[in-house]
Amino acid sequence: MKFGIILGSTREGRVSPQVGEYIKEIAKQRNEHEFEIVDVKEFDLPFMGTGEPNLKWNETIKNLDGYIFITQEYNHGLSASLKNALDSAREEWFNKAAGIVSYGSGGGIRAAEQLRVILSEQKVASVRTNPAFNLFTDFENFTTFKPGDHMAAGVNDMLDELISWSEAFKTIR
Ligand SMILES: Cc1cc2nc3c(=O)[nH]c(=O)nc-3n(C[C@H](O)[C@H](O)[C@H](O)COP(=O)(O)O)c2cc1C
C-alpha cells in the first residue's frame, strides 16, 4: 500500500517538513509499504470554488491507500490551508484510514480533534493514537524539531493501527 504524509502548513518558515520527515523515517524503518510526503504548499490550491479545480491534487489523493496528516494548530484550530486541501477533493478521500500527527504549544490536540470531525464527513476513519508534539519540549527555539526517543513508540502504534485499518478498507473500495 501507498500512504501519503500530508503537510498541512503552507506558512513561510513552517516546521511541518521536519515533522513529516521524522514520521517518514520511522515508517521507512518498518520495511513495509510506501510512504511519501504530500506537500499541500506544492499544489498551490486555489481557495475551494474560486478557480479551476487542481486535478493533480485529486489524482494524488485518489491514488493513496491511506493518509498521515501532519497538522499544526493556529488559533485553536487546524490551518486554513489544510481545511482547504480537504475541501478541494471529495470521493477521492472516501473509504480510507488516516493517522493524525499534531503539534503546537499544547500538542496541537484541538486541531487534531477538529480534524477527526472533518475527516468523518469525507469518509476517512482516523485511528486512535495521535502522536502530539509540544513546541516547548519537542522543539529547540520553537523551530528545530528534536523529539525525545520515547515519542517513536507512539508513532509506531499509530502506524500499526493505520496499516491494519487500511488493509480492511481496501476490501470495500
Ligand atoms: C497565527 C498563529 C496562531 C497560533 N495559534 C496557536 C494556538 O492556538 N495553539 C497552539 O498550540 N499553537 C499556536 N500557534 C503556534 C503554531 O502551532 C506554531 O507556530 C507551529 O510551528 C505552526 O506550524 P508550522 O510552523 O508548520 O506552520 C500559532 C501560530 C500562529 C502563527
Mean pLDDT by 10 residues, the chain (173 residues): 98 98 97 97 96 95 98 98 98 98 97 98 98 98 96 98 98 96
The pLDDT of residue 130 = 98
The pLDDT of residue 42 = 98
Q: Which of 16, 72, 138, 142 to mutate to test the pocket of ligand 1 (most atoms within 8 A of CB)?
A: 72
Largest CA distance in the chain: 46
The pLDDT of residue 135 = 97
Instruction: Indicate the pairing of strand 66-72 with strand 96-104.
Output: parallel
Q: Cα(134)–Cα(129) distance, rounded to whole angstroms?
A: 16
Tell me if 72 sits within 8 A of 41, measured CB to CB.
no
14 CA: nearest ligand 1 atom? 25
Tell me if 125 sits within 8 A of 165, measured CB to CB.
yes
Cβ of residue 112 lying under 6 Å from some atom of ligand 1: no
Cβ of residue 102 lying under 6 Å from some atom of ligand 1: no
The pLDDT of residue 12 = 97
**Grid cell locating 98:** 488516516
Instruction: Return the SS3 of 145.
Output: strand
Cβ of residue 134 lying under 6 Å from some atom of ligand 1: no
CATH pick for 2-170 out of 3.40.50.360, 3.40.50.720, 3.30.830.10, 3.30.2010.10: 3.40.50.360
What is the phi/psi pair of residue 4, to 5°?
-105, 130
The beta-strand segments (E) located in 11-131 are 34-39, 66-72, 96-104, 124-126
In sequence order, what are the residues at sequence separation of 6 or more whose Cβ sits closer than 8 angstroms to the Cβ of residue 75?
A: none
Distance between start and end Cα atoms, the chain:
13
Residue 3: count other Cβ atoms within 10 Å of its Cβ.
Answer: 26
142 CA: nearest ligand 1 atom? 21
Q: At what angle do helices 151-170 and 16-28 cross, to 10 degrees?
A: 70
Alpha-carbon separation of residue 119 from 43, 85, 125 (angstroms): 20, 12, 7
